[in-house]
């Protein structure tokens, strides 16, 4: 037993000797291997435990493979730091570290996040308290996280401006650094730039770099300055407010305030007051006049901007137009106290509108809606009346059956001066209307003529001078023009003596074809018909003048017929759809036909016998089956060679 104990003791001493022998080479003693303490991504250092090594070696993986190492004296103390800020952060890189014993350790330096985007949604702000962080307002997208574990607000750090210090977003240990809604509101006063980045994470567990991450590239988030109150215009004539996409409004009337209404349609450029009120008012008639209203408008909050300050507009109740529209001339003693509006007729040439109360300070307006049109306040064109004398409106503008609308014009507000009082803003008033009824005016029948030179006959159209119950204002035609050319015409009428309102009178007009033959070609030009008392019609009769179109040729040949004294014609041309073939037998040659010529020949049968004499002409026509106008033709003189004897 004692012998066994001695043998164990000797073996232990021998082991120590072997270890000392292994740690000694050429008289040089080596320390234990270096080990990795931390991969410090925050300060970009690899922290190693010296373990007695005086020198530490490191290299990239490629350089280590070539045995090309960087040598660094070990720091004083137990640990040393190897800087890796020189390593590109955009790609993953492996650094090999070893001590004097040559035992290597691989550290994988991860690439930083390739993508970081931070945006803010201001429309979520209303749901948060001032002490809340803005975490719920931020939208964070990054390549560093995963679908199950994305980068969160707490993993970011931020700074204000380019030179601010980096702070934790919501670290309770540093409450002054926490980015809250209250801080954001302060930044919105003048606007600011915030910078964000993903925090670096040190690898203290795996210690090979794989459990940490680099700090990301910083991104800028511009905090917009809270917008000033929007400038809103009121169109007191169209009754609209300049409220468009991106704005919201509410209105108070009769002590009741509506909810905010957002304008989300990008095509909207203005909102009618009728839509804002939504109570049936439209500002046109006394029954639908606008009440007094208080309108508030602002830019509504979006993902990029907070709601702007509020613009306030106070509108007075709309004026209701008093008085009446009177048919006739204004009294000689009418003055500004007269609330009526007078409309008189000057034959069929024009009408006169007289408003005794109209002035520069109290302007009126009128518009005309022609027959068949519907009054649309946003489309009609209003004309202003600022004087009490008569305003003439031509009948070409205020045609028979039109409606004239009259109202007081919108009044712009003015500040008081030393000599004039302040003027309050006023919407245009409600309107009154009057239907235009002239004395009977001539009505020219609507016609479009096509005159073919050398072919067409005289052109005839009718003019109705009046209707039963009205005397005709016009009884004669002064001139008819086509452009600048005065046409030659004749007219007949059933009007003899003095006209009476119980009879309907007409004029029949004939345009001379010989004169039209000498005019230049034209396309659908309106005749300018002027009556003796000045009435003009320039739309009813449209005239096209054109030269005839030569008919083209068909291909055909003659041969002897089967029966004696006959010939036979063969047509090679294909007859077009809607056409047919006919023929005529004449003693003279048929030539110079045009597509306006009408032919009533005998139905043609290809290669059928046609009785004919020597020297006569057989002409085959392709004509339109509906109007018998020539399309194409062929005239063949029949000689003895083409007749069966």
pLDDT at 123 over 50: yes
How far apart CA 441 and CA 533 sit, in angstroms, is: 10
How many domains does the structure of the chain reveal? 7
Q: For residue 39, what are the domain limits? A: 31-109
Whether 560 maps to a domain, the answer reads: yes
**Mean predicted confidence (pLDDT) in 427-443:** 90
What pLDDT does residue 8 have?
A: 44
The predicted model gives 537-566 an average pLDDT of: 93
pLDDT of 474 over the 50 cut: yes
Tokens linked to 334: 């009418």
The reply to whether 228 falls in a domain is no
**% residues pLDDT > 90 (the chain):** 70
Q: CA-to-CA distance for 183 and 434, rounded, in angstroms? A: 64
Angle among Cα 423, 242, 279 to the nearest 5 degrees reads: 85
State which of 438, 469, 485 marks the end of a domain.
Answer: 438
| High-pLDDT (> 70) share of the chain, % | 95
Could you report the per-residue pLDDT of 295-307, keeping only the tens digit for each?
999 888 877 777 7
Assess whether 469 and 424 both reside in one domain. Answer: no
**Continuous H helices in 491-618:** 513-517
Q: Phi and psi for 578 in degrees, rounded to 5?
A: 90, 0
Q: Do 291 and 336 reside in the same domain of the chain?
A: no
Are 470 and 525 within one domain?
yes
Burial class of 26 by CB neighbour count within 10 A (0 to 12, 13 to 18, 19+): exposed
Which residues, other chains included, contact 205 with Cβ-Cβ below 8 Å and sequence gap of 6+? 211
In a domain, 407, yes or no: yes
Q: For position 405, what pLDDT does the model report? A: 97
Mean pLDDT of 71-75: 95
Q: Are 202 and 81 in contact (CB under 8 A)?
A: no
- Domain co-membership, 120 together with 182: yes
Q: Compute the half-sphere exposure of residue 566: CA atoms within 13 Å on the CB side of its CA.
A: 11
Is 433 found in the same domain as 324? yes
Judge whether 229 lies within some domain.
Answer: no
Q: Which of 58, 76, 109 marks a domain boundary?
A: 109
How many Cα atoms within 13 Å fall on the side-chain side of residue 307?
Answer: 16
Tell whether 338 and 447 lie within a shared domain: no
Q: Do 120 and 221 form a contact (C-beta atoms < 8 A)?
A: yes
Q: Based on the fold, state whether residues 451 and 497 are members of the same structural domain.
A: yes
User: 143: pLDDT confidence band, cut at 50, 70 and 90?
Assistant: confident
What does the pLDDT average to over 33-45?
95
- Please indicate, yes or no, whether residues 150 and 46 belong to a single structural domain of this protein: no
Q: What is the CATH number of the domain that holds 341?
A: 2.60.40.10
Long-range contacts formed by 1-8: CB under 8 A, 24+ apart = none
In a domain, 609, yes or no: yes
Angstrom CA distances, 171 to 273, 316, 329, 586, stand at: 51, 55, 87, 115
Q: Which residues contact 96 (CB under 8 A, 6 or more apart)?
A: 58, 59, 60, 61, 64, 104, 105, 106, 107
Residues 13 and 70 in one domain: no
Domain boundary residue among 184, 202, 223? 223
In a domain, 520, yes or no: yes
460 lies in the same domain as 536:
yes
Residues 89 and 72 in one domain: yes
Domain assignment present for residue 563? The answer is yes
The CATH number for 54's domain is 2.60.40
For 334-387, what is each residue's pLDDT tens digit?
999 999 999 988 877 889 999 999 999 999 999 999 999 999 998 999 999 999
* C-alpha dist (Å) from residue 589 to 153, 431, 480, 616, 617: 102, 76, 41, 8, 6
CB 108 within 8 A of CB 92: yes
Do 633 and 581 share a structural domain? Answer: yes
């Amino acid at each position: 037993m004692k012998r066994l104990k001695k043998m164990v003791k000797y073996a232990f001493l021998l082991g120590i000797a072997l270890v000392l022998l292994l740690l000694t080479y050429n008289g040089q003693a080596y320390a234990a291997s270096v080990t990795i303490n931390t991969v410090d991504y925050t300060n970009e250092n690899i922290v190693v435990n010296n373990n007695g090594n005086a020198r530490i070696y490191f290299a990239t993986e490629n350089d280590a493979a070539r045995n090309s190492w960087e040598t660094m004296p070990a720091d004083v103390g137990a640990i040393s730091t190897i800087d890796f800020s020189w390593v590109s952060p955009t790609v993953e890189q492996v650094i090999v570290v070893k001590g004097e014993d040559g035992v290597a350790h691989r550290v994988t330096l991860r690439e930083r996040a390739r993508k970081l985007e931070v945006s803010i949604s201001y429309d979520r702000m209303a749901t948060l308290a001032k002490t809340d962080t803005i975490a719920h307002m931020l939208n964070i997208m990054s390549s560093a996280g995963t679908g199950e574990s994305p980068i969160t607000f707490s993993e970011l750090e931020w700074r204000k401006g380019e030179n601010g210090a980096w702070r934790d977003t919501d670290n309770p240990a540093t409450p002054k650094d926490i980015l809250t809604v209250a801080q954001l509101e302060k930044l919105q006063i003048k606007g600011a730039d915030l910078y964000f980045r993903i925090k670096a994470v040190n690898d203290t567990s795996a210690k090979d770099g794989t459990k940490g991450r680099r700090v990301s590239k910083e991104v800028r988030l511009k905090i917009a300055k809270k917008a000033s109150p929007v400038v809103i215009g009121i169109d007191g004539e169209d009754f609209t407010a300049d409220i468009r996409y991106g704005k919201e409004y509410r209105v108070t009337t009769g002590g009741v305030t509506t909810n905010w209404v957002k304008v989300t349609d990008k095509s909207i450029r203005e909102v009618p007051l009728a839509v804002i009120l939504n109570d049936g008012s439209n500002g046109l008639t006394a029954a639908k006049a606008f009440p007094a209203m208080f309108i508030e408008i602002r830019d509504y909050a979006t993902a990029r901007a907070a709601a702007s300050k509020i613009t306030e507009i106070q509108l007075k109740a709309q004026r209701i137009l008093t008085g009446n529209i009177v048919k006739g001339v204004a009294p000689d003693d009418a003055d500004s106290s007269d609330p009526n509006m007078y409309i008189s007729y000057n034959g069929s040439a024009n009408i006169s509108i007289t408003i005794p109360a109209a002035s520069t300070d109290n302007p009126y307006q009128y518009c005309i809606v022609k027959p068949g049109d519907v009054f649309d306040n946003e489309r009609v064109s209003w004309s202003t009346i600022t004087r009490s004398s008569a305003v003439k409106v031509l009948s070409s503008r205020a045609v028979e059956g039109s409606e004239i609308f009259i109202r007081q014009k919108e009044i712009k507000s003015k500040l008081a001066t030393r000599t004039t009082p302040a003027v309050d803003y006023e919407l245009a008033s409600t309107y009154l209307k009057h239907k235009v009824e002239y004395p009977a005016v001539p009505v020219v029948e609507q016609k479009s003529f096509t005159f073919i030179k050398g072919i067409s006959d005289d052109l005839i159209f009718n003019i109705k001078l009046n209707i039963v119950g009205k005397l005709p204002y016009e009884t004669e035609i002064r001139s008819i023009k086509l452009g600048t050319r005065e046409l030659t015409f004749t007219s007949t009428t059933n009007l003899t003596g003095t006209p009476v309102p119980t009879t309907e009178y007409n004029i029949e007009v004939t345009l001379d074809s010989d004169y039209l033959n000498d005019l230049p070609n034209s396309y659908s030009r309106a005749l300018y018909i002027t009556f003796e008392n000045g009435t003009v019609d320039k739309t009813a009769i449209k005239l096209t003048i054109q030269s005839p179109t030569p008919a083209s040729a068909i291909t055909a040949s003659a041969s002897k017929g089967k029966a004696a004294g006959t010939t036979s014609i063969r047509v090679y041309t294909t007859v077009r759809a809607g056409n047919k073939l006919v023929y005529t037998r004449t003693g003279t040659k048929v030539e110079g036909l045009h597509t306006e010529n009408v032919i009533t020949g005998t139905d043609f049968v290809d290669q059928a016998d046609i009785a004919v004499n020597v020297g006569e002409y057989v002409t085959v026509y392709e004509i339109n089956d509906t109007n018998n106008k020539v399309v194409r033709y062929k005239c063949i003189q029949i000689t003895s060679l083409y007749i069966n004897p």
